[in-house]
Amino acid sequence: MTLLGSITQFVLGSAADVLPIAIFLFVFQRLVIGEHMSNWKQIAVGFVFVVFGLGLFLVGLEQTLFPLGRLMAQQLTDPEFLRQDSGGAAELVWQDYYWVYIFALAIGFSTTMAEPALIAVAMKASTVSGGTISVWSLRIAVAIGVGVGVSLGCFRIIAGTPVHYFIAAGYLVVIVQTALAPKIIVPLAYDSGGVTTSTVTVPLITALGLGLSEAVPGRSPLLDGFGLVAFASLFPIISVLAYGQLAALRARVSSPDSGNRDNEKEDNHAL
């Protein structure tokens, strides 16, 4: 019964998010463009699916995965847990947090794979590129970037290095890669940075960041808890650019005359 209640609540919540956008789109279409949407029935059904889909998706996450993820982030950053591995030493050094890095890598990767906004962008990229960029491989590239980014972000919180150093160095890498990578991947790579920090990933990695900055002596949740989102947005750019560079390199090595076709299997999501 409580589950049914929260489902209703979340579906209504997502309706409240989607409805203003839908109304705006319809009004704009009617008044400015002066056209009726010929297929408005299909679109209305689509919007209903979007609303219900988002609602159910969020209930599912909120009911089970988020509490569990937050609990795990708490447990991992608990000094008691960390000490039992370091052999009871009084002072923890950054190496003692290795489970945190592994968890950050794994949770960053796995939550990004389920990120609906990323699936949407990957579907479009696959359609537009005529299948050259497959949905699946783009998502894996982004997910690797987020995993590495979150893991490195955790190291930063523990080591206390200023966030600018990493961000500045990261963008330096991006600049160099932009010059070297195939032109078609560059805008997509930049967009990948923005998409990742969405519904699924942010709540979990924020919990991890806050837990860490509370547990590590000398860190403040207000000043250090945030950096993870910035890391999770920066590193996918690098990994997607690298994916583009690798694909170009492989195409050049294997068949110099057949162009850079990616032979990876098409994903189910591709149109």
Partner 1 sequence: MKNSLIALGRDALSSLRDLMPIIAVVSAFQLFVFRQPAGNLLSLLLGALLVVAGLSFFIFGLRLALFPVGERLAYSLARKGSVFWLLSFAFLLGFGTTFAEPALLAVADEAARVAANANVIAMSPEALGTYSFELRMIVALAVGVALVVGVLRILINWSLPLLIIGGYLLIIVITTIAPQEIVSIAYDSGGVTTSTVTVPLVTALGIGLASSVKGRNPMTDGFGLIALASLMPILFVLIFGIVMQ
Q: Which of residues 127-186 bind partner 1 (CB under 8 A)?
A: 128-129, 164, 167-168, 171, 174-175, 178, 183-184, 186
Q: How many Å apart are CA 102 and CA 44, to the nearest integer?
A: 44
Q: Which residue do the tokens 């297929």 mark?
A: 39
Q: Tell the smallest beta-carbon distance from residue 129 to partner 1 (Å).
A: 5
Q: State both tokens at 40.
A: 């408005």
Q: List the one residue from 82, 113, 212, 247 that touches partner 1 (CB under 8 A).
A: 113
Give the residue with the Cβ less far from partner 1, 21 or 249: 21
Helix (H, G, I), strand (E, B) or coil at 236: helix
Q: State both tokens at 140.
A: 């894996």
The burial class, CB within 10 Å (0-12 / 13-18 / 19+), for 62 is middle
Q: Which residue do the tokens 């209504």 mark?
A: 12
If one asks whether residue 80 binds partner 1 (CB under 8 A), the answer comes out as: no
* Binding characters for partner 1, 29-68, by CB under 8 A (x = yes): x--xx-x-x-x--xxxxxxxxxxxxxxxxxxxx-xxx--x
Residue 264 DSSP label: S
If one asks whether residue 79 binds partner 1 (CB under 8 A), the answer comes out as: no
Q: Tell the smallest beta-carbon distance from residue 253 to partner 1 (Å).
A: 23
Residue 210: C-alpha distances to residues 73, 113, 204 (Å): 9, 23, 10
* Binding characters for partner 1, 180-219, by CB under 8 A (x = yes): ---xx-xxx-xx-xxx-xxx--x-----------------
* Binding characters for partner 1, 241-270, by CB under 8 A (x = yes): --------------------------xxx-
